[in-house]
């Protein structure tokens, strides 16, 4: 009798395991989650060599503009953006999902002030990425101060347009970047009167991906 009960319990456990294996992918699909086990098991790619940019090609530093959007202005139906599943070969292939009627704010930084960085953090087996952005704005006018106040305690995603026309994404909907700001009047002629902005966040699964050139950018008309 005890043997039959044990056999029956074992059979139930096997059936439950098979059922979960069948249902689990559908659960991830419905919730928009990534099955990280598929990213680890069998996902190791051999090194192919890392080289400098080829000769006779320009490599301009710096950026032109920053496109910013509040994380709260992204579509509520989208759990996160960009996700690792949205990225192929370091390129985001899914357009930014802004809410109806919302657009990206266009920030034009002071000359030679825009920078954006990323880095690996943590010991081996604990590593993740950190994203950071910084720029200056010349001036302390009423209009500028009013707009700057909107960034207070507000998580944002930033798309940085580089001088080679590449656009990269810093921050995500679930892990946005919040800017800190500092204004200065300047003491004398030649001093810079304006505001400095900087922000960062960590625990990202990827370096800032390139926004695919064929995707639309919802910019103000």
How high is the mean pLDDT in each 10-residue block of the chain (221 residues)?
50 51 49 49 78 93 96 98 97 98 97 96 96 98 97 97 96 98 93 96 97 96 84
pLDDT at 42: 53
SS (H, E, C) the chain: CHHHHHHHHHHHHHHHHHHHHHHHHHHHHHHCCCCHHHHHCCCCCCCCCCCCCCCCCCCCCCEEEEEEEEHHHECCCCCCCCCHHHEECCEECCCCCECCCCCCEEECCCCCCCEEEEEEECCCCCCEEEEEEEEEEECCCHHHHHHHHHHCCCCEEEEEEECCCCEEEECCCCCCECCEEEEECCCCCCCCCEEEEEEEEEEECCCCCEECCCCCCCCCC
Residues 6+ apart with CB under 8 A from 90: 206, 207, 209, 210
pLDDT at 9: 56
pLDDT at 32: 54
pTM (2 decimals)? Answer: 0.80
pLDDT at 4: 52
pLDDT at 221: 84
């Amino acid at each position: 009798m005890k043997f039959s009960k044990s056999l029956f319990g074992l059979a139930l456990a096997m059936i439950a395991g098979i059922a979960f294996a069948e249902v689990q992918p559908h659960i991830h699909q419905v919730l928009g989650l990534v099955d990280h086990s598929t990213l680890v098991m069998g996902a190791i790619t051999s090194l192919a060599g890392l080289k400098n940019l080829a000769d006779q090609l320009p490599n301009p530093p710096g950026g032109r503009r920053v496109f910013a959007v509040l994380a709260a202005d992204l579509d509520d139906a989208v759990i996160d953006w960009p996700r690792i599943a949205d990225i192929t070969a370091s390129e985001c292939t899914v357009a930014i999902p802004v809410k109806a009627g919302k657009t990206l704010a266009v920030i034009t930084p002071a000359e030679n002030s825009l920078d954006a960085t990323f880095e690996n953090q943590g010991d081996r087996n604990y590593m993740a990425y950190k994203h950071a952005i910084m720029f200056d704005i010349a001036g302390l006018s009423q209009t500028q101060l009013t707009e700057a106040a909107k960034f207070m305690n507000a998580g944002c995603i930033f798309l940085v347009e580089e001088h080679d026309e590449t656009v990269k994404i810093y921050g995500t909907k679930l892990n946005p970047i919040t800017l800190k700001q500092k204004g200065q009047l300047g003491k004398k002629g030649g001093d810079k009167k304006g505001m400095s902005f900087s922000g960062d966040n960590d625990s990202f699964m990827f370096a800032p991906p390139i926004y695919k050139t064929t995707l639309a950018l919802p910019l103000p008309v």
